[in-house]
Structure 1
Amino acid sequence: MARRALILVEGHPRGTGVRYIQAAQRLGLHPITLAADPACYDYLAAEKLEAIRVDTDNLNALIRECSRIRATYDIAGITGFAGDDESVYATVGRLCRYFDLPGPNPSSIERCCDKFTQRQFLAGAGVPMPAYRLAANASEVGSSAAEIGLPVIVKPAVSSGSNGVRLCRTIDELLEHAKYLLNRQHIGRSSPRILVEEFAQGPYYCAAIMGSEVIGISTAEFSPPPHFVFREATFPALLSDDECKRIADISLSCLRALGLGWGPTDIEFRWTKRGPVIIEVNPRLSGSPDPQLVEAAYGVDLITEHIKLVIGEEWDLHRRYSHVAGARKLVPDSDGILDWIEGGDRAAAISGVAEVKFYAQAKAPIVRKGNYRDCIGHIVAASPNRAQTEEILKRAVDLIGWSITPFPAGAEETISCKRPAPPQNK
């Protein structure tokens, strides 16, 4: 009998990819990664995992490669990662349909990938949202902001990971950011269409959903505006039963409006003066450390359960316990060359710390863009209560230190973050 394989389209360099690999192996599957450039995912070479170079933007090329793999393996399922381009997940849906495997509806995924289209579908279903306009040039960006009223959020209509998202408080900031987006300096292949939105002010919440079940709701804090880089998160959020129900009900309305309901969905809210409003619906599993938070709090491994769904097996979302989990992102406050980062082993040894992960290594360039890639690591901890979890995280964060030498190369001044002392055992 042929060995069962799990096909992963592209990878994820910040922990999620290797967790999918490990979960697949625990389920007795042979993971095979198809990627435009497998070298982008260092865990593939480090673990000597099978990876095949293929144009993942080309559906026919992916079909040919999967057909070739099927001559040797029994393809149990196909899934993938959005990363900076959520269209990858729509391609996964098409592959699943071609090979008659369980998978997401590609049309539903595409509705979500275009944020303006997503807004239109949600508006048609009466889902509460900030005011929004679509703009194709600087003049339209200006008139849209005038209609909505400053400050506004300005972002590309097609992108992910907070790429290009900025709070604009003045006309000068608005026009500067519009020029940046229209020059396509950061969105590569994406359309330069721009979404201008009302700045929805209030606490941030995020509903983690699998299928049509709301597993839980997290809350998070961001770096100071104008960008929105996650700095910390807590799962579950401290909400009343009524508040949880309101978020859950709106979440399910979103699924119906967009034709979702298969697999993972991540729905972001702001709780404003008029109640919860939708910021974004992401038709995928959220990236690290969100799955780790759910596992640390409830004992539910969303990655394993997602793979079970992908291969047609029965999943289990039953909570094994009820703790409070928290995460802290490690975010530098300057650009330059990372001289060193240390303290991970000491932080991981603290009772209650579930994971310490560094994304960057010594000598890596640090260039902040105001998106998720600004983070250079995270810490996840959990305990039976919030105060204890906060204390564990504080102790762990205080043990982490790094040093950055600013650009240009050769500058003598060194900027140290957290603990200024040089690393031990150098």
Structure 2
Amino acid sequence: MARKALILVEGVADIGLLYVKAAQRLGLRPITLSADPAQYDYLAAESVDAIRVDTNNLDALICECSRLRATNDIAGITSAKESVYARVGNLCRHFNLPGPNPTSIERCCDKPAQRQLLAEAGVPIPAFRVAANAIDVESSALEIGLPAILKPAAGSGSMGVRLCRNLDEVTEHTNYLLGGKHIWRSPPKILVEEFAQGPYCWADIMGDQIIGIGTSDFGPAPHFVSRESTIPAPLIDDEHRRIANVSLSCLRALGLGWGPTGIELRWTKRGPVVIEVNPRLHGTPTPQLVQLAYGVDLITEHIKLAIGDECDLRRSHSHTAAARFLVADRDGTLDWISGDSQAAAVSDVAEVKFYVGPKTPIVRKGDFRDHIGHVMAVSPSFFQTQFILQQAVDLINWSITPFSIAGEQEQPADSRIPAPA
């Protein structure tokens, strides 16, 4: 009898390997379909089956899955990548397999359409406008009021997202987005959005069940580079209840409720305001933190849903888990980075990981690509976890030599990860 296979449409750099390993633990043979399998280092490192196919072409995907089905028992088809998740839904329907509603996914991935549906359902969201040219962007920003957020109407990872505090910054970022420097997957449309001010929270949902609510801190404006994430968020009961209610309202408004959903919010003067709804799991460090805090493996449970098995979302314990990202404070060449083994030896540190090695060029983008590593810790209490995390990151150091100007070699600068403000 052929071994059951799990088809993974595309991969992701941060949690793609976790999907592969979870599939293998479930006795499945993971097969990745990708337009460029070489972009995912873990596929070759783990000898994972990978097939090159145009993942933007539904017919090509159906053809490849049909070919694979001749020699494999395909138990399920899924993905951790938002940009292909609607096609995953179409594939599942074609082959009569469990999966997300493709229409709901498409509407959710279109940020203006998502916001319109949320607004019509009475879900609190920031004021927004959609603009396709510089004149419309400027008039929209003035209408909404400055400071305002400018972001691509489609995308993830805070790529192209910026806080603009005056018209000069609006013009500068509009020129960046429309001037060829930003890569668009669809016709350029800019979302101009009210800056909802307040603590940032996120909710992770599987099906229609809220697994946990966490919080994150970011680096300095105008960018939104995540510095630290913690679950559970230190909320009082009423705050938790209101965030949970708003999150579930998002599912109803967008027709979601199958598989994973990640919701991002700000706690403002008027309570929770929804910034974004993602029809997928949040990336690193969220799935790992949820497992550390509650013993719930969201990736495994997502795969179980995709193959028609019953998932188990019961908590086995309740701790506080947190992750601190390591973020370079300058551009240049990374000379060295050290302290990972010492940090990992600190009691209750769960993981220390560097994403880059010596001689790597560091060019900051103002989004998730600025991360050069992370440290995760877990303990029974919020303050104890924070103390452990700080102990660990204090042991990590690196040196970056700024890029030379006009042939002049600048002196290297030692860096140490600071505690978030």
What's the TM-score, normalizing by structure 1?
A: 0.95
1:256-275 correspondence runs (5 A): 256-275=252-271
1:401 is matched with: 397
Letter in 2 for 1:312: G
Cα shift readout 1:187-221 (whole Å, capped 9, x = no counterpart) = 33332111111110001110110000111100110
Letter in 1 for 2:413: I
Letter in 2 for 1:69: L
Is 1:36 the counterpart of 2:32? The answer is no
Greater than 3 Å deviation, 4+ residue runs: none
Is 1:376 the counterpart of 2:372? The answer is yes
1:194-233 correspondence runs (5 A): 194-233=190-229
Is 1:241 the counterpart of 2:240? The answer is no
2:143 is matched with: 147
Alpha carbons of structure 1 residues 191 and 408: separation in structure 2 relative to 1, 3 Å: farther
* Structure 1 position 349, deviation (Å): 2.0
User: How many residues of Structure 1 are paired with residues of Structure 2 in the alignment?
Assistant: 415
Letter in 1 for 2:178: L
Does structure 2 conserve the Cα–Cα contact (< 8 Å) formed by 1:357 and 1:377? yes
Does structure 2 conserve the Cα–Cα contact (< 8 Å) formed by 1:159 and 1:190? no
In the aligned structure 2, how far is the partner of 1:190 from the partner of 1:335?
30
1:157 aligned to which of 137, 153, 167:
153
Letter in 2 for 1:315: C
Is 1:342 the counterpart of 2:341? The answer is no
In the aligned structure 2, how far is the partner of 1:213 from the partner of 1:288?
21
* Structure 1 position 313, deviation (Å): 0.4
User: Equivalent pairs: percent with the same residue?
Assistant: 69
Q: Which runs of 5+ in 2 are unaligned?
A: none
Letter in 1 for 2:39: C
2:75 is matched with: 76
Q: Which runs of 5+ in 1 are unaligned?
A: 420-426
* Structure 1 position 408, deviation (Å): 4.1
* Structure 1 position 412, deviation (Å): 4.1
* Structure 1 position 362, deviation (Å): 2.2
Deviates more, 1:213-222 or 1:360-369: 360-369
1:3 is matched with: 3
Does structure 1 conserve the Cα–Cα contact (< 8 Å) formed by 2:403 and 2:410? no
1:191 is matched with: 187
1:413 is matched with: 411
In the aligned structure 1, how far is the partner of 2:262 from the partner of 2:112?
17
* Structure 1 position 51, deviation (Å): 1.1
- SS of corresponding position for 2:98: coil
Deviates more, 1:165-174 or 1:333-342: 333-342
Is 1:355 the counterpart of 2:354? The answer is no
Deviates more, 1:212-221 or 1:58-67: 58-67
Does structure 2 conserve the Cα–Cα contact (< 8 Å) formed by 1:203 and 1:271? yes
Cα shift readout 1:364-397 (whole Å, capped 9, x = no counterpart) = 2221111111111111110001111011101111
Alignment RMSD, CA only?
Answer: 1.3
1:104 is matched with: 100
In the aligned structure 2, how far is the partner of 1:354 from the partner of 1:181?
38
- SS of corresponding position for 1:340: strand
2:113 aligned to which of 112, 117, 137:
117
